[in-house]
Structure 1
Amino acid sequence: MPSNDSVHTLYSDHHSWLKTWLRSQLGNAADAADLAQDTFVRLLQRQQPLRLNTPRAFLRTVARGLVIDHWRREELHRAYLEALAQLPEAQVPSVETRELLLELLERIARLLDGLKPKVRQAFLLAQCEGLGHQAIAERMGISLRSVERYVADALYHCYLLRYEDEH
């Protein structure tokens, strides 16, 4: 686990640079400041000690992952709002319900982020489209055994993440 001193030094030496780099990526100072903070919070949560020869390259790598997550959330939010706009007015959920649904969608997206593409695709075909394993195998052009393994891997992945969230 990195010491607070090493993260503090990294923060003191590179926070301003990181925030500037993030602003160039995002075009938004507020989001850049948030993601810069999130980068250092992530470093404080690391289990491995920090041994950095190129601290800015390391920070850029960590921050780039957060930027990608940010863009995914933005795209998810945009798609959700577009879907809501298609609903008849009588079916549009309340503001509170919309926020809860968006939070749920973000949690689901985070659960699926760690999956390999084929595992994610098989899992979504099973869970969202209700396809059986044989139908998934045919659609994806893979063996039934592979589908079974992919779906099991996805379920196990989600279980582990949910278990981590509770503890």
Structure 2
Amino acid sequence: MTEAVTSTERSLDALYRDHHGWLESWLRRRMGNAWDAADLSQDTFLRVLSSSQKIADMREPRAYLLTVGKRLLSNFYARRSLEHAYLEALAQMPEDSVPSPEQRWLLLETLHALDELLDGLQAQVRRAFLLSQLDGLGYRDIAERLEVSERTVKRYMAQAYEHCLLVDW
């Protein structure tokens, strides 16, 4: 084991020991659920470990952990909202059209991946992209729906495609 790895492990151990309880308590107060708070707390430390930020160089570890935790909390609620909307849509489907549990899981995972992929796009750009890709609308129809020019739709689509190509999975 190299000296750098040992130093990183010691730094992570100290960061976890010193701040894990505080972060989990903060998340529990926000979420009202100890289980989800524990999961998000662990996810926060995993993100810190996999980030390029050197743990030993952190001047304000709680601020950094809070920033990462807030992002994960936001993603958690967005995912929950997406799941809720999906389940509501399923409830309105005729019983013979409802997908199997396996198909539902795959669809939900695909929705989450798509939502994550499009995260960061402006609302209008995202909407134009979804109208094109999911509804199969042409640029002229999208322009009418969004009340923008066809040239603007082309610009939106270029932004969306560029974003999709450059996103770091």
Pairwise TM-score range, normalised by the shorter structure: 0.7 to 0.9
| RMSD between superposed Cα atoms in Å | 2.0
1:47 partner amino acid:
S
**Counterpart in the other structure of 1:85:** 91
TM-superposed deviation, 1:137: 3.0
The list of structure 1 runs, each at least 4 consecutive aligned residues, that deviate by more than 4 angstroms after superposition, is none
Instruction: Describe the SS at the equivalent of 2:128.
Output: helix
Supply the distance in 1 between the matched residues of 2:9 and 2:156 (Cα, whole angstroms): 39
Residue 89 and residue 155 in structure 1: after superposition, are their counterparts in 2 closer, same or farther (change >3 A)?
same
1:4–1:44 CA contact under 8 A, matched in 2: no
Report 1:26-45 matches (<5 A).
26-45=31-50
1:106 aligns with 2:145: no
**Counterpart in the other structure of 1:47:** 52
TM-superposed deviation, 1:100: 1.2
* Greater RCO (CA < 8 Å, at least 6 residues apart): 1
Report 1:1-167 matches (<5 A).
3-50=8-55, 51-161=57-167, 164-165=168-169
Unaligned segments of structure 2, at least 5 residues? 1-6
1:71 partner amino acid:
Y
1:119–1:151 CA contact under 8 A, matched in 2: yes
2:159 partner amino acid:
D
Aligned residues: 162
- Calculate percent identity across the aligned residue pairs: 52
TM-superposed deviation, 1:28: 0.8
Supply the distance in 1 between the matched residues of 2:97 and 2:79 (Cα, whole angstroms): 24
Residue 13 and residue 156 in structure 1: after superposition, are their counterparts in 2 closer, same or farther (change >3 A)?
same
TM-superposed deviation, 1:131: 2.5
Unaligned segments of structure 1, at least 5 residues? none
Scaled by the length of structure 1, the TM-score of the pair is 0.86
Larger radius of gyration: 2
What per-residue deviation string (whole Å, max 9, x for no partner) do you get for residues 46-97 of structure 1?
1233443322222111101101110011111111111111111111111111
Supply the distance in 2 between the matched residues of 1:143 and 1:62 (Cα, whole angstroms): 38
